[in-house]
Amino acid sequence: MTSTDSGRATILDGRAASAAIKAELTERVAALKAKGVTPGIATVLVGADPASQLYVGMKHKQSVAIGMNSIQKELPADATQEQVEALIDELNADPTCHGYIVQLPLPKHLDTDAILERIDPAKDADGLHPTNLGRLVLNVSGTIETPLPCTPRGVIELLVRNGYDLNGKHVVVVGRGVTIGRPMPLLLTRREINATVTITHTGTQDLSEHLRRADVIVAAAGVKHIVKPEDVKPGAAVLDVGVTREDDPNGGRSKVYGDVDPRVADVAGYISPNPGGVGPMTVALLMTNVVEAAEREAARA
């Protein structure tokens, strides 16, 4: 937690929190290795989208840095449904792979839902398999051991590791997407977190009215600067999960914008930067899911 000039929000530093998680994981990985289990993470990349290549490369590098085994699988952009499914079956059967992701988005000709559903739920590093989402709905007490959705878990970890207590707080989530908006309330309303949640979306009539009442805003709409300073209660915590990539018309490096107007830092009590906020947390929690899968396997052995 870094305090800045008076009147400016405390920065929720995702790089620092992710480094702390990775330091803890390094020890858990070493303990597993001592028992003869090297946690293995895999990524499946179909096609050669530059942003996807960058993300997959980041996951690989960080996993190796904490002592994990990293397996990178690649298929050409014109891979068939059968080829992708055969690769899924291979990873499901591979005892050295404890968890993996299929990098999204997939090329349009592929049936994404069928591919994601084919992943062994025990190896679902994203925590977004229908079985695991179903368990999340059923598991109000948070006691069933199952992979949790990485980005929502990262949002909560970022707050908790900065000493923010969500108990009884009113969280307004902007966006109903599958990776954040829909699973976020399921985690926030577990008894151990105990927040109250409003979920807003493009059908919401007066977004500003909801935002002004929020103790915590989780902005995951993918709309550049949708959260404005006049919509934020002074002192609120604002987490920026949005990513809007705009190409430079002059052919330079594309620019990334978050869902939160930078001027919100003058009103909010806590703010997650973007980049440097929730993004690095997603990767840290992805690795956590795989280490936990390996720990469950070691406990069974």
Ligand X SMILES: Nc1nc(=O)c2c([nH]1)NC[C@@H]1CN(c3ccc(C(=O)N[C@@H](CCC(=O)O)C(=O)O)cc3)C=[N+]21
Which residues define the annotated binding site?
175-177, 243
Binding flags for ligand X, 44-73, as an x/- string (CB under 6 A): -----------x------------------
Q: Between residues 94 and 170, which has the closer beta carbon with respect to ligand X?
A: 94
State the catalytic residue, choosing from 22, 123, 124, 126. 126
103 carries an active-site annotation: yes
Position among 233, 280, 288, 290 found at the interface with ligand X (CB under 6 A)? 280
* The pair of three-digit structure tokens given for residue 182, joined into one six-digit string: 């829909």
Binding flags for ligand X, 170-209, as an x/- string (CB under 6 A): ----------------------------------------
Q: How far is the CB of 240 from ligand X (least distance, A)?
A: 9
Residues between 143 and 172 with contacts to ligand X, criterion CB under 6 A: 150
Tell whether residue 289 is a contact of ligand X (CB under 6 A): no
- Edge-to-edge strands, sheet with 10-11: 10-11, 270-271, 237-240, 216-219, 170-174, 196-200
Q: What is the length of the chain?
A: 301
Q: What are phi and psi of 173, to 5 degrees?
A: -100, 130
* Structure-derived torsion over alpha carbons of residues 139, 140, 146, 152, reported in degrees to the nearest 10: 130
* The pair of three-digit structure tokens given for residue 172, joined into one six-digit string: 């307004």
Helices and strands in the chain, H and E counts = 9, 11
Binding flags for ligand X, 111-150, as an x/- string (CB under 6 A): ---------------x-----------------------x
59 carries an active-site annotation: yes
Tell whether residue 42 is a contact of ligand X (CB under 6 A): no
One-character DSSP codes across 21-87: HHHHHHHHHHHHHHTT---EEEEEEES--HHHHHHHHHHHHHHHHTT-EEEEEEE-TT--HHHHHHH
State the catalytic residue, choosing from 22, 59, 73, 169. 59
